[in-house]
Amino acid sequence: MVFAGGFSAGDEPDGSGKFIANVLRQPQVAESIEEFLRKDGLVLGICNGFQALIKSGLLPYGKIGIPSPDDPTLTHNTIGHYLSFEARHKVKSVLSPWLAEFEIEELIDMPIAHGEGKFVAPKDVIEQLWQNGQIPLQYVNRDGDASMSFPANPNGSMDAIAALTNRKANILGLMAHPERSRSDLSRNIPGIKNGYKFFRAGVQYFK
């Protein structure tokens, strides 16, 4: 199950992410998704889809609910406007089946295209997420070092966090667009364009 990126109502405020989260909370929809997850189904949220997973509670908790003020969220980029360019990521955890074809410390260059992708959470929550292996990707600079500086960390995410999973790791959300990461796209932009491996891993999971 994939929740793709996309805009609605000019994406203001919390456009598609908030809209999708409200749909997910509808009792019949929520029940179907939670049954799907109990059967070890996989869920992927890309960009606005990632926002929806966080705002619905599916990330980082794996169940649908109403997030509290202390829960992780995604908010406006520190720079204050929409951004669209290639960002470098480093793999930090491969517990999720979506990352089965990656290695720890592997680098991935993927396009970003969002205005609200800044990950924020209380420090103790972030520490627990790290301990659980629920942070699979970080924004890094060209040398592969995690960074809080723009443009390596494009949105100003705390701890340079670029993606999140639930504890079971069958739900993955990321702000980048791996579906746009192909060797035959953006040919004038050099990079490590291996984002396709997320999707190949997802297919292999069910074979």
The vertex-148 CA angle with 193 and 116, nearest 5°, equals: 70
| Catalytic-role residue among 34, 35, 47, 76 | 47
The vertex-26 CA angle with 42 and 70, nearest 5°, equals: 75
Q: Based on the residue annotation, tell me whether 47 is a catalytic residue of this protein.
A: yes
Q: Token pair for residue 61?
A: 């908790």
Residue (of 153, 144, 158) closest to 176 by Cα position: 153
Determine contact, residues 92/136, Cβ cutoff 8 Å. yes
| Catalytic-role residue among 86, 114, 116, 179 | 179
Longest CA–CA span in the chain (Å) reads 47
Q: Based on the residue annotation, tell me whether 177 is a catalytic residue of this protein.
A: yes
Task: Classify 44 as helix, strand or coil.
Answer: strand
Catalytic residues: 47, 177, 179
